Amino acid sequence: MKVVKNLVASFTLKSEFAARRNKLYRIAYSWCHDSALSDDLVQETIYKAIKNAAKLRDIETIDTWLYRILYNCWQDYLRVKNRNVEFTEMHDEEQSGSSESYQQSQIVKRVRASVEKLPLPLREVVTLADFAGFSYAQIAEITDVPIGTVMSRLFRARKNLKQQLLEFGSDDLSEFKLRRIK
């Protein structure tokens, strides 16, 4: 009976990991700007999560646990490579459609370009807060820094993004505001 229970639990965890794969990929891509590396980081994250599934104490904390593993994989990559991450320009695929979708794609390009210009610690925190929706406490746990440091990095990142986006001088962007997440 115990074997069957472990198999069911293992299948449930694997489906939980698979459901979060796209979100993990988006965060990894926002950090490294390389699709192959993002895939590798997510694959390594899921491998380590499955391997260490017994260490997960509470299923409610699975998101924080997975993002902590992803963050550790990212830090390991940076340590091994012992280099600075190069920022490359991201290109969205051409969208044929209405002018509204074109304007929205231009705004997305501007935001992505602004996020890419942020220093790595600020970029990591802002992507976890604003793209993944984590709380300050969860980000502090994932990045292993004090909550005050998370708050100050997030403040500086948002201030920097706001300044960069306003420098574009577009009237379209003047009506948008950065949102805050606790």
Q: Residues 6 or more apart from 4 whose CB is under 8 A from it?
A: none
Per-residue pLDDT of the chain (182 residues; tens, 9 = 90+): 555 555 555 667 777 778 888 889 988 988 888 889 999 999 999 889 888 888 878 778 888 888 899 999 998 888 887 654 444 444 444 444 566 777 777 777 888 888 888 888 998 899 898 888 889 999 999 889 999 999 999 999 999 988 888 876 554 544 555 556 55
How far apart (Å, rounded) are the C-alpha atoms in residues 172 and 159?
Answer: 19
Residue 178 contacts residue 157 (beta carbons within 8 Å): no
Beta carbons within 10 angstroms of residue 93's beta carbon: 5
| pTM over cut 0.85 | no
DSSP codes of every residue in 57-86: --GGGHHHHHHHHHHHHHHHHHHHHTSPPP
> What integer pLDDT is reported at residue 88 of this predicted model?
46
pLDDT > 70: percent of the chain? 76
Q: Topology of 1-82 in CATH? A: Rna Polymerase Sigma Factor; Chain: A (1.10.1740)
pLDDT > 90: percent of the chain? 20
In angstroms and rounded to an integer, the radius of gyration of the C-alpha atoms of the chain is: 18
> What integer pLDDT is reported at residue 145 of this predicted model?
92
> What integer pLDDT is reported at residue 70 of this predicted model?
92
> What integer pLDDT is reported at residue 90 of this predicted model?
47
pLDDT tens per residue across span 50-102: 888 888 787 788 888 888 999 999 988 888 876 544 444 444 444 445 667 77
Q: Which residue has the tokens 């990045």?
A: 143
End-to-end CA distance of the chain: 43
Q: Do domains 1-82 and 97-182 have the same CATH topology?
A: no
Domain ranges of the chain: 1-82, 97-182
Q: Topology of 97-182 in CATH? A: Arc Repressor Mutant, subunit A (1.10.10)
